[in-house]
Amino acid sequence: MGFDANLTRMQLDGTVKHVGGQQFLAGKGLAGETFPRVHRVEPHGFTSHPVSGGIATVMQSRSSRDSVYAMGGANPDLVPQLALGGSAIYDHLGNVVSVVENKVRIVAAESIELVSPLIVLDGLVKLGGPGADRPASARGTVDTAGAQDVDNLATRVLVI
């Protein structure tokens, strides 16, 4: 890595090993050099498992050539396109949680599961799509106890 401040890039081959709470990657450098065990630096509270084809920035210590560190590792073919200022968490299957402008959007390839002892939805809920406009419980309906439904939670849930 000569005179480039010991900084280069490598293309990940998909090998990821977790050892003692740390992650190690393998891949090939731009000049064809191999990197069999590179320590990937990750921030607190976030982890990911990079896939083959990802590009990482690699830095080596000048005093210890065995100390190699990788940052990043995104596969350019999988990165979602976002508007200016947007951010997203995504994976290799097309699942995306994005924050763009004033919206949070969750796109799942198969299903979404919310697990908690308490789930609070506060606001208008539309089931079936953005065109939902009929309350799930119509106002004025008499329930099984003989009470008239005037303004309960179900009148704030709209269905198609």
> What is the pTM assigned to this prediction?
0.69
Query: Quick one: pLDDT at residue 151?
Result: 61
Please identify which residue in the block is written with the tokens 């891949």: 27
> Where do the domains of the chain lie?
7-74, 80-113, 115-160
Query: Quick one: pLDDT at residue 128?
Result: 86
Q: What is the pLDDT tens value at each position of the chain, 160 positions in all?
A: 445 568 899 999 999 999 999 999 999 998 889 999 999 999 899 889 999 999 999 998 777 767 899 999 999 999 999 999 999 999 999 999 999 888 999 999 899 999 998 888 888 888 888 998 877 766 667 767 777 766 666 666 777 6
Looking at domain 7-74, its CATH architecture is Beta Barrel (2.40)
